Structure 1
């Protein structure tokens, strides 16, 4: 498997994974993902299998705010060059590769990027059923988020790294 930063050539495969992992209200549009590839190039990590097929990705901005804010989903913030907090908007794994530790490996590689850029923490929001996965990967449950994205109840998860 190979890690790489996302490019526009990955867009179709990214959108396939997005649609496979999130309902219509939660999923980002193609326009949103084009914007993310452009603005968050340094923090849009993909993983591909040995045949070069994209099987997972993680993306989010590095910003001064500690947690994801709903308005960030519509207006992608620019990355800080150093410091701040690394947020995760999305982590998605191909249904054919789930349960194989790919998500954990992707989070670990993403953390390496965050550490290299002196981020204080990594944070994301998740549904209640995903809390144990993130806790297994070193994140702490910080309680219910103010987010109403997709009309769901989200939980703030955070991992202090520096």
Structure 2
């Protein structure tokens, strides 16, 4: 889809508290059980870090098609506790630690993930953030490099028993 078609089809905005159940369901579709955020942690993120979520809502159905979420922090290095401890979120944090990019299967291959990411990075730059950091599996490195991220090598993260790459985007 073109940018114009994406803009026409989707509303891009912060998540709403009442959308926690949708976010949990989407997370469980998009990630295997060992990697997915727990319902408790996702509910806490939705209620306490709405400003670091960006959802794409299908205007036709009113349902979330995909989202990006993270937490803000002054910390520089990604660590697994960001996934489970919402008290590490600092609204004024200079960095964002991304915790998940989720796009439902029926919306993939249309440029939605790239559009969500591009809008997210622009928004975080506008509010004065300095860096966005994420972890990804080997097979996703090239996708994130196309989005402008730099591969920093193997992460210290062992989330879900996997081997991750730290990826960084300097705003």
Classify the TM-score, shorter chain. over 0.9
Q: Residues 15-48 of structure 1: CA distance to partner in whole angstroms, max 9, x if unpaired? A: 2210111111111111111110122111111111
1:47 alignment partner in structure 2: 56
Query: Gapped runs of 5+ residues in structure 2?
Result: 1-9
Q: 1:147 aligns with which of 141, 150, 157?
A: 157
Q: Is the 8 A contact 1:68 1:89 kept in 2?
A: no
When the two structures are superposed, what TM-score results if normalisation uses the length of structure 1? 0.94
Q: Is the 8 A contact 1:67 1:124 kept in 2?
A: no
Residue 6 of structure 1 pairs with residue 15 of structure 2: yes
Q: Residues 45-66 of structure 1: CA distance to partner in whole angstroms, max 9, x if unpaired? A: 1111122110001111111112
The number of equivalent residue pairs is 160
Q: Is the 8 A contact 2:103 2:113 kept in 1?
A: yes
- SS across alignment from 1:36: helix
Question: Segments of 4+ in structure 1 off by > 6 A?
Answer: none
Q: Is the 8 A contact 2:82 2:97 kept in 1?
A: no
Within 5 A, what are the aligned runs for 1:84-103?
84-103=94-113
Q: Residues 69-106 of structure 1: CA distance to partner in whole angstroms, max 9, x if unpaired? A: 1111121222332x511110011001001111101100
